[in-house]
């Protein structure tokens, strides 16, 4: 069974004239466990919407999303929140670190909401420190995002995405706000850490350099029948 | 990390807003604490003050003025009553304890009260607590000498009325004084020191001094935390030995608000008594009030009336303080509402990381409660600081001491009330956070 399975997925928004604007129409899409898949698409093609639907942040108009054997449409919102927190790790283009929290606190944050209930505070802190060490920021644990460079912030975000030992990492243009060097380093980290942690990686981008790093690249324009 | 830490970090992130809103809460709470503390201590002190006497008897006029003057050493004496009433009540079997008072002089602003030794021996300024001497002894008092002194004074008064000359000299050996603890501390008088009284119940540089009648300090009382600490007690018989009293009474200006009518020969300022039974209070009062010599007032009733009057003022002040607190809570809500736009993205990130809507609501409400709680905590401390800062002023004005950092129980109610107000203040912003569109907020530019 695939880690992620999408069937007849449709996302539509109502128009003022009573008709509907179709944003996504994906008849079928699958991701296998531990695979690394790149989805390319131009700006506004629905890449972020696609990731939001997969993570349960956005409910589709119709169709089904099955993640790790669980149909999202059968879960209520709170259950989807927990599922997202435990099984999905997010890496955003703009990092989205909380400015009032230290690097370590940002990493641990997700475990407060949906972490392993058997892990206590000390375990979480230890794990957060280990992840910061893996992304090369063990000396920056107490620094707030404002005291870190863009590349460092994205590395903190990558560590955060791995905190709850997710089955799937969703990366939305993770190198989009970084220079080539930092972007390359961030991409290396995402791909290697996803691989070593056993998580599948689904990355969306419009950057050909990033696409070139993946063996599997899918064009969203071909996947999405509404485009 | 816990939800508490997340709440704390959020509040710290907006430190200025948190500090200002917390401070406004603190000001309101401080006012409530100050008003309630002073009110409760005053009520307690007033109740304690009258518990020593069942009834006071004095000149006809304001019964409240009479009680305030006799029991609390406040206000001026409403006038004098015949000394014969003292003799008459002294023989009444219903009277258990009878204390005469003569007032009208002061020393450095501390009222001089002529009284008998019974007052210092048997009166209880605090429930079940008589006066105790810190040093020295109480003054000598002989009932027979008082009667003789009164006769002498009456003779002297009538003599002065006829020829205007003063050919009498008093027995200085009887002029003994026992000082309340505050009076002793402030005046610096020690055992064996002498002092000269000034006419009037308040310090007045123009007041005439009884230069020829110095009193010798023979005792200093321990603190009682009542207005009694601010009085200087002299033996009543010596009061009537003072040559100037009769003459000065004739010359003193009645328009002087600080002056108090000193008893003329054959008169006394007031009497305070305890009866053998509660029924005796009512029968004695009826008898005295039916006569035309004096009025009888029951301190508990008068103080109840006074507390009703001051209670209305307290209530208005309290309402104002509560309004300040409510406005500060609204300010907290407003500050949080204003910040919601900035934190929408943070909320969306937390939702993306697995936080449920209810968790986000709890974080926002928790932040409002934290601000209210910190403000309330600071307010409780500030309120006590205000109380302590005004304690000396209050003691100077009414003689009540306000103990430092006392806990009355209402502080818990105020704290819980503030926390609940914090919850109410946080609900609006929390609902706003609850409705945050995660997808839209995540895709918006930071």
Question: In this complex, do B1 and A112 lie within 8 Å of one another by their Cβ atoms?
Answer: yes
The residue among B398 and A217 whose pLDDT is bigger is: A217
pLDDT tens sequence across B66-105: 888 888 787 777 788 888 888 888 889 999 999 999 888 8
Q: Can you tell me the distance from the alpha carbon of B179 to that of B224, in angstroms, rounded to the nearest whole number?
A: 12
The pLDDT score that the predictor gives to residue B172 is 45
pLDDT, chain B, mean? 81
In the predicted structure, residue B163 carries a pLDDT above the cut 50: no
Q: What is the ipTM of this complex?
A: 0.91
Examine residue A14 and state whether it is found in any structural domain, yes or no: no
Measured CA to CA in angstroms, residue B114 lies from B56, B120, B137, B207 at distances of 15, 11, 16, 19
The pLDDT score that the predictor gives to residue B72 is 79
The pLDDT score that the predictor gives to residue B241 is 64
Whether A150 has its CB under 8 Å from any CB of chain B: the answer is no
Chain B positions in Cβ-Cβ contact with residue A99 (cut-off 8 Å): 13, 346
Q: Using CA atoms in the order A40, A46, A52, A53, what is the torsion angle rounded to 10 degrees?
A: -100
Q: How many CB atoms lie within 10 A of CB B191?
A: 15
The residue among A58 and B171 whose pLDDT is bigger is: A58
In the predicted structure, residue B258 carries a pLDDT above the cut 80: no
- Rounded to two decimals, the pTM is 0.74
Q: How many CB atoms lie within 10 A of CB A184?
A: 16
pLDDT tens sequence across A138-151: 889 999 999 999 88
Tell the residue number behind the tokens 């009062």, with chain if given.
Answer: B285
pLDDT tens sequence across B37-58: 888 887 777 776 666 788 999 9
Kindly give the pairing relationship between strand B209-221 and strand B133-136.
antiparallel
The pLDDT score that the predictor gives to residue B262 is 59
pLDDT tens sequence across B326-383: 888 888 888 888 888 888 889 999 999 999 999 999 999 999 999 999 999 999 999 9
pLDDT tens sequence across A11-49: 888 888 888 888 888 899 999 999 999 999 888 788 888
Our count of domains for chain A comes to 1
Q: Hey, which residues 178-197 in chain A have their CB within 8 Å of chain B?
A: none
Whether A112 has its CB under 8 Å from any CB of chain B: the answer is yes
Measured CA to CA in angstroms, residue A205 lies from A3, A163, A197, A212, B145 at distances of 21, 23, 22, 11, 112
Q: How many CB atoms lie within 10 A of CB B35?
A: 22
The pLDDT score that the predictor gives to residue B158 is 56
Rounded to the nearest angstrom, the minimum Cα separation between A72 and chain B is: 14
Examine residue A29 and state whether it is found in any structural domain, yes or no: no
In the predicted structure, residue A201 carries a pLDDT above the cut 90: yes
Question: In this complex, do A105 and B9 lie within 8 Å of one another by their Cβ atoms?
Answer: yes
Least confident of A128-132, B3-7, B399-403: B399-403
In the predicted structure, residue B200 carries a pLDDT above the cut 80: no
Examine residue A7 and state whether it is found in any structural domain, yes or no: no
Examine residue A194 and state whether it is found in any structural domain, yes or no: yes
Region B274-291: mean pLDDT is 89
Chain A positions in Cβ-Cβ contact with residue B443 (cut-off 8 Å): 48
Question: In this complex, do A113 and B443 lie within 8 Å of one another by their Cβ atoms?
Answer: no
Whether A50 has its CB under 8 Å from any CB of chain B: the answer is no
Question: In this complex, do A94 and B357 lie within 8 Å of one another by their Cβ atoms?
Answer: no
pLDDT tens sequence across A44-66: 788 888 999 999 888 899 999 99
Least confident of B99-113, B216-230, B258-272: B258-272
Examine residue A68 and state whether it is found in any structural domain, yes or no: no
The pLDDT score that the predictor gives to residue B341 is 82
Q: Which residue of A has its CA nearest to B343?
A: A98
Examine residue A188 and state whether it is found in any structural domain, yes or no: yes
The pLDDT score that the predictor gives to residue A200 is 93
In the predicted structure, residue B424 carries a pLDDT above the cut 80: yes
SS3 content of chain B, % helix, strand, coil (to 5): 60, 15, 25
Residue B164: pLDDT band with limits 50, 70, 90: very low
In the predicted structure, residue B418 carries a pLDDT above the cut 70: yes
Examine residue A12 and state whether it is found in any structural domain, yes or no: no
Range of the domain at A94: 34-58+85-223
In the predicted structure, residue A79 carries a pLDDT above the cut 50: yes
Instruction: Choose among A48, A109, A121: nearest Cβ to B353.
Output: A109
Residue B265: pLDDT band with limits 50, 70, 90: low
Question: Best residue in A43, A48, A96 to probe B by mutation, most B CBs within 10 Å?
Answer: A96
In whole angstroms, how large is the CA radius of gyration of chain B?
Answer: 31
Whether A141 has its CB under 8 Å from any CB of chain B: the answer is no
Examine residue A74 and state whether it is found in any structural domain, yes or no: no
In the predicted structure, residue B166 carries a pLDDT above the cut 70: no
Region B397-410: mean pLDDT is 75
Question: In this complex, do B10 and A100 lie within 8 Å of one another by their Cβ atoms?
Answer: yes
In the predicted structure, residue A80 carries a pLDDT above the cut 50: yes
Rounded to the nearest angstrom, the minimum Cα separation between B11 and chain A is: 9
In the predicted structure, residue A105 carries a pLDDT above the cut 90: yes
In the predicted structure, residue B307 carries a pLDDT above the cut 50: yes
Q: Which residue of A has its CA nearest to B349?
A: A96
Instruction: Choose among B3, B439, B446: nearest Cβ to A57.
Output: B439
Residue B232: pLDDT band with limits 50, 70, 90: very high
Question: In this complex, do B1 and A108 lie within 8 Å of one another by their Cβ atoms?
Answer: yes
The pLDDT score that the predictor gives to residue A133 is 92
Q: Looking at residue A102, which CATH number applies to its domain? A: 3.40.50.300
DSSP B96-162: EEEEEEEEEEEETTEEEEEE-HHHHHH--SBTTB---EEEE-PPP--HHHHHHHHHHHHHHHHHHHH
The pLDDT score that the predictor gives to residue B22 is 92
Question: In this complex, do B351 and A81 lie within 8 Å of one another by their Cβ atoms?
Answer: yes
């Amino acid at each position: 069974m695939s880690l992620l399975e999408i069937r007849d997925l449709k996302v539509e928004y109502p128009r003022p004239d009573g008709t509907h604007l179709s944003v996504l129409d994906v008849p079928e899409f699958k991701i296998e466990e531990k695979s690394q898949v790149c989805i390319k698409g131009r700006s506004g093609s629905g890449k972020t919407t696609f990731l939001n639907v997969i993570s349960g942040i956005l409910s589709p108009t119709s169709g089904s999303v099955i993640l790790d054997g669980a149909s999202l449409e059968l879960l209520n919102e709170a259950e989807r929140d927990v599922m997202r927190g435990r099984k999905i790790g997010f890496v955003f283009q703009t990092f989205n670190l909380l400015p009032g929290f230290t690097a370590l606190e940002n990493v641990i944050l997700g475990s407060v909401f949906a972490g392993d209930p058997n892990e206590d505070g000390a375990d979480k802190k230890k794990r957060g420190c280990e992840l910061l060490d893996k992304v090369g920021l063990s000396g920056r644990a107490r620094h707030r995002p404002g005291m870190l460079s863009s590349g460092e912030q994205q590395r903190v975000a990558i560590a955060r995405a791995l905190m709850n030992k997710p089955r799937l990492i969703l990366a939305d243009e993770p190198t989009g706000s970084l220079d080539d060097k930092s972007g390359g380093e961030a991409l290396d980290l995402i791909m290697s850490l996803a691989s070593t942690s056993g998580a599948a990686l689904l990355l969306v981008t419009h950057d050909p350099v990033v696409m070139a790093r993946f063996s599997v690249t899918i064009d969203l324009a071909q996947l999405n029948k509404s485009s | 990390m816990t939800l508490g830490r997340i709440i704390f970090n959020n509040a710290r992130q907006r430190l200025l807003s948190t500090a200002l809103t917390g401070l406004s809460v603190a000001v309101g709470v401080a006012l409530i604490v100050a008003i309630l503390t002073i009110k409760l201590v005053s009520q307690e002190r007033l109740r304690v003050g009258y518990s020593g006497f069942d009834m006071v008897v004095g000149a006809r006029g304001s019964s409240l003025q009479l009680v305030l003057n006799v029991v609390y050493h406040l206000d001026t004496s409403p006038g004098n009553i015949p000394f014969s009433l003292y003799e008459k009540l002294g023989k009444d079997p219903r009277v258990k304890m009878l204390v005469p008072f003569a007032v009208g002089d002061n020393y450095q602003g501390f009222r001089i009260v002529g009284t008998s030794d019974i007052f210092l021996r048997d009166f209880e300024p605090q429930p079940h607590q008589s006066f105790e001497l810190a040093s020295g002894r109480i003054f000598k008092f002989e009932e027979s000498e008082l009667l003789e002194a009164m006769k002498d004074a009456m003779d002297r008064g009538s003599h002065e009325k006829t020829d205007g000359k003063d050919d009498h000299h008093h027995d200085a050996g009887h002029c003994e004084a026992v000082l309340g603890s505050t009076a002793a501390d402030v005046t610096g008088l020690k055992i064996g020191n002498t002092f000269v009284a000034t006419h009037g119940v308040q310090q007045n540089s123009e007041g005439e001094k009884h230069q020829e009648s110095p009193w010798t300090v023979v005792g200093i009382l321990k603190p009682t935390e009542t207005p009694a600490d601010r009085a200087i007690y002299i033996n009543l018989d010596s009061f009537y030995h003072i040559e100037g009293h009769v003459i000065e009474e004739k010359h003193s200006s009645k328009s002087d608000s600080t002056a108090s009518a000193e008893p003329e020969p054959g008169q006394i300022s007031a009497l305070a008594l305890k009866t053998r039974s509660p029924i005796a209070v009512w029968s004695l009062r009826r008898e005295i009030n039916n006569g035309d010599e004096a009025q009888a007032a029951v301190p508990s009733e008068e103080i109840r009336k006074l507390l009703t009057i001051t209670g209305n003022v307290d209530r208005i002040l309290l309402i104002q303080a509560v309004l300040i607190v409510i406005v500060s809570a609204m300010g907290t809500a407003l500050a949080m509402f204003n910040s919601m736009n900035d934190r929408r993205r943070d909320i969306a990130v937390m939702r993306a990381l697995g936080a449920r809507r209810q968790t986000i609501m709890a974080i926002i409400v928790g932040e409002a409660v934290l601000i209210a709680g910190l403000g309330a905590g600071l307010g409780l401390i500030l309120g006590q600081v205000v109380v302590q800062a005004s304690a000396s002023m209050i003691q100077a004005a009414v003689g009540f001491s306000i103990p430092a950092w006392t806990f009355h129980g209402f502080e818990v109610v105020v704290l819980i009330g503030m926390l609940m107000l914090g919850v109410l203040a946080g609900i609006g912003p929390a609902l706003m956070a609850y409705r945050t569109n995660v997808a839209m907020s995540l895709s918006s530019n930071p």
